[in-house]
Amino acid sequence: MSHDYRGTQSDPIPLTRPSLPPLDEMLEDFHTVFDSGRLTNFGPYATRLEALVSQTVGARRVVSVANATTGLMMVLNTLPPGTEVLLPSFTFLPTAQAVAWNPGLTPVFVDIDRNTYNIDPDDLRRKVSSNTSAILGVHVFGVPCDIDALDRIARDHGLRVFFDSAHALGSRIGEDAIGAFGTAEVFSLSATKVVACGEGGVVATNDDTLHRGLLNRRNYGFSIDATDSANLGLNGKITELSAVLGLHLLGGLQDRVSRRNQIAAAYRSGLSRVRGLRFQSVPDGSVSTYKDFTIEIDPKEFGMTRDGLRAGLAALGIETAPYFSPPIHRMTYFRERFPVAEPLPTTDQVSGRILSLPMFEDMTDSQVERVIESVEAVGAGAINRLGKRSAG
Ligand SMILES: Cc1ncc(COP(=O)(O)O)c(C=O)c1O
């Protein structure tokens, strides 16, 4: 073993860390914003960001928003009240909160595919009712959903398809970037994402009516062509400083995604020698952003639960996160108001076993190796929870 695991807390490895462009490269644009005095309200940088995202993901219309949560809330607000939205429970909390914030929309949770962790088309089809208006897919950790299957179900039942693409700016299916599928895709630009503006988001769509619907909602609900308000609205504006960051970060998107895929390949190869671990599948021909790199721990084979491994890694200064555990249908607000009619066995199993390992573009190869060796050592019982080598 090449590392001394004792004392590594002084050299911690974070779960994530934004890799920002050199400040010097952005100074001119920051000066322009400061000199103009225009910090927000759909300024020139927000407009340029929308144009660059449109070009990057191949969608005709892009609307910048304050964050993905508000983007999702507004997209879903275009649905008829009194209807149901089908979505996975294995996702980050805001996916479901965005549904619940809309008066009259009911979230209906669907199980996930055992390999990709994305919404399971078979369970989805079973859960469509005469009240369903939309499917809200999530490209979990950057792995694209089974778009064809979702489109087929939507066509058969006259549903809309939206995507929570918070993790997937830079993901692809073949030659097609994630961003132009379904009626709209909602990206997050928050601090943990591959394009990390601090806070921010963008909605991509080819649907002119939806585009107009978003413009009529994101400025507090003021209509774009009048002083009237005909819709629910909120403050959905991105700031100019966030937009500057976004523009500079988008330029390097391909390189960022490539580096993350390199790290993921190193993790997969190094961890394949450890018994009791499974990895998320990326369908052939698809590219994931690896917004998160996750492992699934089979406690019997690995010899320890997910929580045991997590504590062992924490003692070695390695930060991890149990994304997504507990799943949303088990959280109090949703359990009480939107109880599931049937269990979600795959969601429950994956949630109980999942762990995200450190993943950021500036991670060094030796940091990746240290994480791999630490997982192996904790699993083998060579390291106890205090980060000390076990005797013998
Ligand atoms: C799957 C998913 N959806 C939505 C969001 C919300 O994004 P934002 O923080 O931009 O509101 C996140 C944030 O991490 C997320 O992971």
Q: What is the pLDDT of residues 327-356, one digit of tens each?
A: 999 999 999 999 999 999 999 999 999 999
The catalytic residue among 193, 291, 300, 388 is 193
Catalytic residue flag (residue 193): yes
Residue 136 structure tokens: 């809200």
DSSP letter, residue 238: P
What is the per-residue pLDDT across 196-206, written as a single tens digit (0 to 9) for each? 999 999 999 99
State pLDDT tens for residues 263-322: 999 999 999 999 999 999 999 999 999 999 999 999 999 999 999 999 999 999 999 999
Establish whether residue 94 lines the binding site of ligand 1, counting it when its CB lies within 6 angstroms of any ligand atom: yes
pLDDT over 70 at 182, yes or no: yes
Question: How many domains are contained in the chain?
Answer: 2
User: What pTM value is reported for the model?
Assistant: 0.95
| Residue 29 pLDDT greater than 70, yes or no | yes
Kindly write down the DSSP assignment for every residue of 14-82, as one continuous string: -S----PPPHHHHHHHHHHHHHHT--SSS-HHHHHHHHHHHHHHT-SEEEEES-HHHHHHHHHTTSPSS
Pick 133 or 3 by higher pLDDT.
133
Distance 387 CA to ligand 1 centre (A): 33
Domain boundary among 251, 273, 300: 251
Q: Does residue 44 lie within any of the structural domains?
A: yes
Give the DSSP letter of residue 143: P
Q: Is 116 in the pocket of ligand 1 (CB under 6 A)?
A: no
Cα(58)–Cα(65) distance, rounded to whole angstroms?
A: 18
* Alpha carbon separation from 18 to 129, 249, 392 (Å, rounded): 42, 10, 40
Asked if residue 335 and residue 219 are part of one domain, the reply reads no
Residue 345 near residue 111 (C-beta atoms within 8 A): yes
For ligand 1, atom 16, the nearest C-alpha belongs to 92
Instruction: For residue 140, give the ligand 1 atom closest to its CA.
Output: 1
**Residue 388 covered by a domain:** no
387 or 40: which leads in pLDDT: 40
In a domain, 392, yes or no: no
Tell me if 201 CB under 6 Å of ligand 1.
Answer: yes
Confidence of residue 387 (pLDDT cuts 50, 70, 90): low
Which residue range(s) make up the domain with 375? 8-14+253-379
- Helices and strands, number each (H, E), in the chain: 14, 13
What span, in angstroms and rounded, lies between the C-alpha atoms of 121 and 99? 20
Q: What is the rounded average pLDDT for all residues in the chain?
A: 95
Query: Does 146 lie in the same domain as 280?
Result: no
Question: Does the beta carbon of 92 lie inside 6 Å of ligand 1?
Answer: yes
Instruction: Please report, as a single letter, which amino acid is at residue 349.
Output: Q
Domain match, 123 and 216 both = yes
Residue 171, amino acid: S
